[in-house]
Amino acid sequence: MALHIHEACILLLVIPGLVISAAINHEDYPADEGDQISSNDNLIFDDYRGKGCVDDSGFVYKLGERFFPGHSNCPCVCALDGPVCDQPECPKIHPKCTKVEHNGCCPECKEVKNFCEYHGKNYKILEEFKPSPCEWCRCEPSNEVHCVVADCAVPECVNPVYEPEQCCPVCKNGPNCFAGTTIIPAGIEVKVDECNICHCHNGDWWKPAQCSKRECQGKQTV
């Protein structure tokens, strides 16, 4: 009799464990919110169409509100059909701009070349220089070089020479003219041979000298 009582006690101890195990069934209890999200990879966001606009960062803007979407530096207005962005007519960038920034709605030139380039050399703004003896040049604020070529006066001689670093020819021996093939100075009479005395026309150096015959002084015979 004692044996039967002991076996009954063991059976009673085992049965409650089976009952508890059968009672705890995961299908009977809903999973918590965290388990539901982790088991579903497709997250559902609120639909803002007709109610507002969402930028690239996820910020929501009300209808009529101005904002800057991530893909544009121009301001946009949230409308029923989505963002309506300004498309202004941006000013042209200076052709000699060396630094352009795109932080604003329109690109902006921040640095313009502040020198002129002429024949492979650079010159500062308003700098004056002479690339040749006959040229006078200046670097303008527009980064352009303006040059003036010297207008030389007509030399008053038939044999002008060019000196180094001088643009215009000079008459080193003063005004003169041709008497035949001989060059004579202007302002005086010159005996060019035994019979002719010549002088240059006054101010008309390019004309041949005016000559007059005199009594030839030949050798007298005895």
Residue 5 lies in a domain: no
Lookup: tokens for 19: 């009952």
Domain count, the chain: 3
How would you label 56-67 residue by residue, b for 16+ Cβ within 10 Å and e otherwise? Answer: eeeeebeeeeeb
Helix (H) or strand (E) holding 35: helix 33-38
Tell me: pLDDT of 8 over 70: no
Could you tell me if 65 and 48 are in contact, meaning their C-beta atoms sit under 8 angstroms apart? no
Average pLDDT over residues 8-23: 41
Quick one: 166 and 197 in the same domain? yes
Residue 17 lies in a domain: no
Residue 19 lies in a domain: no
Question: What are the distances in angstroms from CA 150 to CA 121, 138, 158, 170, 213?
Answer: 21, 14, 21, 14, 43
181-221 per-position pLDDT tens digit: 899 999 889 988 888 899 998 777 778 899 988 777 654 44
State the pLDDT at residue 154. Answer: 85
The CA distance from 51 to 155, in Å, is 89
Residue 132 lies in a domain: yes
DSSP state of 10: H
The pTM score is 0.38
State the pLDDT at residue 139. Answer: 94
Quick one: 64 and 100 in the same domain? yes
Helix (H) or strand (E) holding 148: strand 145-149
Residue 16 lies in a domain: no
70-98 per-position pLDDT tens digit: 666 788 888 888 888 877 788 888 777 88
For residue 179, the cross-strand partners are 182
Question: What are the distances in angstroms from CA 190 to CA 77, 198, 199, 214?
Answer: 98, 5, 6, 12
Residue 88 lies in a domain: yes
Query: Among 97, 123, 149, where does a domain finish?
Result: 149
Tell me: pLDDT of 107 over 50: yes
Residue 203 lies in a domain: yes
Residue 161 lies in a domain: yes
Query: Among 93, 124, 149, where does a domain finish?
Result: 149
CATH number for position 136: 2.10.70
128-177 per-position pLDDT tens digit: 999 888 899 999 988 889 999 888 888 889 999 988 878 899 998 889 99
Instruction: Give the structural domain span for 167.
Output: 154-216
Quick one: 194 and 143 in the same domain? no
